[in-house]
Chain A
């Protein structure tokens, strides 16, 4: 959903309509009640919204924008204790910023912000790792 996986809330509405049309067409011959139970707006909206949100944590997309060599530092940042709660909150709020896009950023700017966000987390992870290593020495 969205250009290069950068999903926006308007993408969700469009995707819901397309998905429901496609599913009900594929269901031809199935009792209407079953079709309505399995392919309804509420559940489709919920699933596609979640997909839109989790798309920002998609490892396939993320490591197309940043080097996969940064993966250990990202993990360190999330796993080690210092500032973990703050970072996790920031991490979970980040997709909402892109989905809502309150600053009306273009795709290029959104890619830059997204890339730098994770690069910064990786830098913090790197610092945490070095501190941990120095502490153990």
Chain B
């Protein structure tokens, strides 16, 4: 492919990715869900006071709802709020940018790792239009940022390792691949200590971005070191020293956090071991066996074709539910890509190493999800995306290779595929913008903003406002939409659904369809007209 064509299509691809992610991102998904609100409020608090909601100055992790959120995304939202103000757009903008940048990373780095330019372009286009990636890039999900940093870090590390070896081992397979890189770029590449600093820094940052990355990133680095072990000459390893030392310093807060009770809080609250029911009378129902069985069951469920291609994981926040995380037309191409990779796994050289890396990446990515529940989980397995789009792109380029020999078949196949791809993309966008807001608004905490606004406008007329337990972690919605926590002064959050006894002069926010001894003021509905809460004057 000629250079100007390559540049033209790359820019087109990135533009498409950005448009699909940014278009009306503040309104779709319909409202901010509870974690986005918590992120938004903590970021706002950092901007205003330099402290989080618990009053801790510039924390390395955010206590939030005792789930101890990792800091990087929240600080990026703080920066975003400085620019665009305290809006839903500010909470989602880092995710949008990270999502778009992941496409850029794929387009920039795949060719330097031995992937053909045509396959790279297909991979970039696939990533730009993939429901799985678009969906998470449009919400305030830290996973998108984690994916971006891990992908960039790992691919850059591999690129530098491959390039470093050229002067030392001119005859090896890896060197041949390296020479290809040199030919492509037109000049000899030198990788010094400073070049390694960036991938190391990115990988360290990924550990501060999302919980899954704390398992995936170290494992992927290990896999890279094993696969590219022949390239790791003493000279290369010496160049690792300074970046490793600097990264170790940056890792100290992470290590302290990971092995603290706070760092383990998230994992221990959702561990898959909670589902293991031991039967002491049965030899095969002992804890280690059952635990391994549960873990494996969770792990393989993330490869379910029904989840991937038809329904998603069932969580309304993780997908549109009506179609899967991937397009159905990608199924045969994915299989073809994987089979092609397995068949050619014995061939030498850099493409073989890269194929191996992608295979291991695919196998490693669901591990963090399998350690906790529920499974399958589209968000925690987001890093699977990179090997998946690579294999699909490989499958598609194989098909075009087979049919390219016969001109009329080529045109026919091309037209048919273009029609199918456009149809599926249009179908996804229709579902996302038309069906999805109507069907999954409760998953996005729809109507809670309206509830807060109503209560804040009325609360001065009442002695106290009682809030039902059904308004989960309601304080954060009051803090975010009501601007300051001080407004909570006469608001009481009940530990139960209904109060144990009723008093006069109270405004009671009750679950929808309930009864209280007083006057029903209003029923609050979400934008799809589903009743959310009843407001009673006691």
Q: Which residues of A contact B (CB under 8 A)?
A: 23, 26-27, 30, 34, 38, 47, 50-51, 54-55, 57-61, 63-64, 67-69, 71, 79
Contact = CB atoms under 8 A, between A and B. Distances in A.
Contacts of B12: none
Nearest to A51: B310
B497 interface: no
Contacts of A54: 305-306, 309-310
Contacts of A60: 300-301, 304, 306-307, 376
Contacts of B430: 30, 34, 38
Chain B interface, DSSP helix/strand/loop, else mixed: helix
Chain A interface, DSSP helix/strand/loop, else mixed: helix
Contact of B434 (A26, A55, A63, A68): A26
B344 interface: no
A68 B305 contact: no
B274 interface: no
A27 B427 CA distance: 12
B296 A58 contact: no
B435 interface: yes
Given A26-B435, A50-B328, A79-B342, A59 B303 contact: yes
Contact of B328 (A26, A47, A67, A71): A47
B293 interface: yes
Contact of B439 (A26, A58, A61): A26
A16 B427 CA distance: 17
Contacts of B435: 23, 26-27
A23 B299 CA distance: 33
Given A26-B438, A69-B296, A71-B296, 12 more contacts: A23-B322, A27-B434, A34-B430, A54-B309, A59-B304, A59-B305, A60-B300, A60-B306, A63-B297, A67-B293, A69-B293, A79-B342
Contacts of B292: 69
Contacts of B168: none
Contacts of B342: 79
29 contacts: A23-B435, A26-B435, A26-B438, A26-B439, A27-B435, A30-B434, A38-B426, A51-B310, A54-B305, A54-B306, A54-B310, A55-B306, A58-B304, A59-B300, A59-B301, A59-B305, A60-B300, A60-B304, A60-B306, A60-B307, A60-B376, A61-B304, A61-B306, A68-B293, A68-B300, A69-B292, A69-B296, A71-B296, A71-B300
Interface string B306-336: 1101100000000000100000100000000
Nearest to A62: B300
Interface residues of B, number: 25
B35 to A, nearest CB: 26
Contacts of B434: 26-27, 30
Interface in B373-432: 376, 426-427, 430
A18 to B, nearest CB: 12
A60 B438 CA distance: 28
Contact of B306 (A23, A58, A68): A58
Interface in B433-492: 434-435, 438-439
Nearest to B435: A26
Nearest to B426: A38
Contacts of A27: 434-435
Contacts of B296: 63, 68-69, 71
Nearest to A54: B305
A63 B297 CA distance: 6
Contacts of B376: 60
Contacts of B328: 47, 50
A71 B363 CA distance: 14
Contacts of A64: 297
B362 to A, nearest CB: 14
B426 A63 contact: no
B342 to A, nearest CB: 7
A10 to B, nearest CB: 19
Contacts of B305: 54, 57-59
A89 to B, nearest CB: 16
A50 B305 CA distance: 11
B293 A51 contact: no
Contacts of B301: 59-60, 63
Nearest to B300: A59
Q: Which 3 A-B pairs have the closest CB atoms?
A: A68-B296, A60-B301, A59-B300
B265 to A, nearest CB: 28
Given A26-B435, A34-B430, A51 B297 contact: no
Contacts of B303: 59
B238 to A, nearest CB: 38
A68 B297 contact: yes
